[in-house]
Structure 1
């Protein structure tokens, strides 16, 4: 107790001496800016005219929105709903609640003939009493857009469709989606069921990141079940100009033709969402316009890795004299193509000096990324490795050093 009290006294004295000393300028004197207001587009033509009700183009890694229109307007999601259905299934597999090799006995609920709302809709053509492995039902959802497969998996995971829909909406809350609410597991039109272009991009981003094994299925081009061969409804998988590896189509009378697509080029991945197109072909054409424009005029760079030291700073009152600082996670920036060499990196500290004890990932400042004189991104500056409190003798020596440092600079 005496040691702690002495240390606290020393620390308070140091803080007082700092307050009366000459102000210290940290490396970066750039004031913080509202990054949402920064226009990255430098000598880049506007996005092409997209003939749909709503759209968005987002970089998967950085989350940067490159183009959007009516992105937060609520629309009937149609079979894009199945992206969330797929996400819930992927999480159940990931958490060990089910296995892809589990056998599911098909109930009457998943029998299309027994359910008039399935008439004329996309189906896997399941029959009551069939025993079907989970990995086949997943493909029936992801590739064939089978409404019957959605019901079968909902019953298997949650006991019934209502409980499964609750799981879907719980993930809506977890992902902080503002304009999404599900009423069905398959996406057929239902009152008060809606989503938006932005939310669909965020659900897709989560699917790719959180359950990559589930997402990998979306690039498969066909699936055969009960001798019925069906092609993946995402026609962009066959496009020769883009490396599209997902993700999902949707159509109902209320929704029109929807498409979420994702493609890669090098280390860059883009996600496009178009809602309310007039035909299945138009949704592909408009999606390709967005993706092509994004890849042509932008690039994704990784200026800083989480496991790589960004800078080291003196540490006071600790068992180590310095602390290594870095980003909390890999930093991805989406910038105009060819502008990578112009990106400048600086930092600011939360306090003029850094005091022990420090724990791993403790935030001590901000890393600023600038382009053309504007801050385009800011990320937390964190401690890479714990620094424990030093001995009473070490604290006393550091106190003397700090007093002289701030008085004589």
Structure 2
């Protein structure tokens, strides 16, 4: 049989009409049972508030050909909207080097917030951490130059990691948070999965060679966005240009962008001979913040130059625009079977998108609301989606729509009356 819409469709249409007539004829009998119709229709209230942004938005515009970044991979993301503005092989796996310390700092700040450790708490330097310091003293990897058995404040260790990229300081922090580095690595990988790092694996707290470890530009951008949202105070440390410890000469921050661009305030660099030169940099200009990731550049100077090119491109070519929703960002929506007849609905996050400056006035929105809304509804329950598109209809971002207040279930009469209304609406729709 073909697909030309012939007789089978007419037979189905006739059957549907007969079913509708039978339903109308039985309406009076059905009304007697309405009192039992107290189960919310069409899905009931939504669960906890959804994330403010869903999925991975595509890049907003094709990058100019001359922007090609001289590195193994690169990514530029707007930190406010999460939109990718430039991507070059962003899912290519590379050794993390000291970028692993971003995850270490993330877990340290989680532990601070949970009260497991404190900034002024002193912890003891282990022999394993001291050995990393000794390696640095003979021309090896970077260190804070800690001594075995020495007592050091947590905050000093944080500075030693954020500015001087101290491998010894990273290990001491890991042991302070988890009891051992092995336990800390388990935490790192579990947390990586929890925040959506889909292709990253860590084998130690500092990123030196050993074990299975790899990251991607996309995962490092996602980690940076998480850190900026969860622990913005980290920037107080990653923005410091020098680190002074005891009577040692001040150590300059390895992130040279801090010395050439006043907008830059973190996050971290990394380098291994087998990996090349990495940087995850964030910069703020006005209300906008960008995250630039460059992995596997051939030199420190090249990673600085290429990260600077990404940041300049993002600030010069793009802008953030806020779209309208309802009146002053809110909309009243009818509710059935509730103690109140209406509920206020609002976006779960500011409805802002990043677009090329030439297209700032051309975005459009599409609102989808669950219908009907049936009480009870919790505050923050998801009831719809605000989709923001460009002039060509490409989806730039989707923002959940949630309830601004709770709506408890109404009394017996309200439930009965709205059950009748819903029944008639269903029959005659």
- Identify whether the pair has TM-score above 0.5, normalized to the shorter chain: yes
| Matched ranges for 1:151-300 at <5 A | 151-228=171-248, 229-240=250-261, 243-300=263-320
Displacement of 1:349 after TM fit?
Answer: 2.2
Q: Per the alignment, do residues 38 and 59 of structure 1 end up closer, same or farther by CA in structure 2, a change over 3 Å counting?
A: closer
Displacement of 1:203 after TM fit?
Answer: 1.2
Contact 1:123–1:148 (CA<8 Å) still a contact in 2? yes
Aligned partner of 2:362 in structure 1 is: 342
Displacement of 1:144 after TM fit?
Answer: 0.2
Q: Per the alignment, do residues 373 and 279 of structure 1 end up closer, same or farther by CA in structure 2, a change over 3 Å counting?
A: closer
Aligned partner of 1:328 in structure 2 is: 348
Q: Per the alignment, do residues 128 and 174 of structure 1 end up closer, same or farther by CA in structure 2, a change over 3 Å counting?
A: same
Contact 1:363–1:383 (CA<8 Å) still a contact in 2? yes
Aligned partner of 2:148 in structure 1 is: 128
Aligned partner of 1:26 in structure 2 is: none
Deviation readout 1:176-219 (Å, 9 max, x if unpaired): 21111111211112242111111111111111111222232100
* TM-score, scaled to structure 1: 0.85
Q: How many residues align?
A: 383
Q: Per the alignment, do residues 213 and 334 of structure 1 end up closer, same or farther by CA in structure 2, a change over 3 Å counting?
A: same
Contact 2:109–2:231 (CA<8 Å) still a contact in 1? yes
Aligned partner of 2:24 in structure 1 is: none
Report the Cα distance in structure 2 between the residues aligned to 1:399 and 1:159, rounded to whole angstroms. 59
Moved more, 94-103 or 374-383: 374-383
| Matched ranges for 1:16-55 at <5 A | 40-41=60-61, 45-46=64-65, 48-55=67-74
Q: Per the alignment, do residues 235 and 85 of structure 1 end up closer, same or farther by CA in structure 2, a change over 3 Å counting?
A: same
Displacement of 1:348 after TM fit?
Answer: 1.6
Q: Which has the higher strand share?
A: 1
Report the Cα distance in structure 2 between the residues aligned to 1:287 and 1:389, rounded to whole angstroms. 55
Q: Which runs of 5+ in 1 are unaligned?
A: 16-33
Aligned partner of 2:37 in structure 1 is: 9
Deviation readout 1:298-351 (Å, 9 max, x if unpaired): 122343699965211222222212111111233331111253433223312233
Contact 1:102–1:133 (CA<8 Å) still a contact in 2? yes
Q: Per the alignment, do residues 180 and 392 of structure 1 end up closer, same or farther by CA in structure 2, a change over 3 Å counting?
A: same
Contact 1:112–1:118 (CA<8 Å) still a contact in 2? no
Report the Cα distance in structure 2 between the residues aligned to 1:112 and 1:97, rounded to whole angstroms. 26
Alignment equivalent of 1:58, drawn from 70, 77, 82:
77
Aligned partner of 2:87 in structure 1 is: 68
Displacement of 1:107 after TM fit?
Answer: 2.4
Contact 2:136–2:145 (CA<8 Å) still a contact in 1? no
Moved more, 378-387 or 280-289: 378-387
| RMSD after superposition | 2.9
* TM-score, scaled to structure 2: 0.81
Report the Cα distance in structure 2 between the residues aligned to 1:157 and 1:307, rounded to whole angstroms. 47
Displacement of 1:388 after TM fit?
Answer: 2.0
Give SS of 2:201's match.
coil
Alignment equivalent of 1:366, drawn from 385, 395, 402:
385
Displacement of 1:106 after TM fit?
Answer: 1.8
Report the Cα distance in structure 1 between the residues aligned to 2:58 and 2:279, rounded to whole angstroms. 29
Contact 2:129–2:169 (CA<8 Å) still a contact in 1? yes
| Matched ranges for 1:75-94 at <5 A | 75-94=94-113
Displacement of 1:115 after TM fit?
Answer: 5.7
Contact 1:112–1:125 (CA<8 Å) still a contact in 2? no
Alignment equivalent of 1:355, drawn from 357, 365, 374:
374
Report the Cα distance in structure 1 between the residues aligned to 2:39 and 2:135, rounded to whole angstroms. 74
Q: Which runs of 5+ in 2 are unaligned?
A: 1-32, 43-53
Report the Cα distance in structure 2 between the residues aligned to 1:136 and 1:269, rounded to whole angstroms. 27
Q: Per the alignment, do residues 231 and 7 of structure 1 end up closer, same or farther by CA in structure 2, a change over 3 Å counting?
A: farther
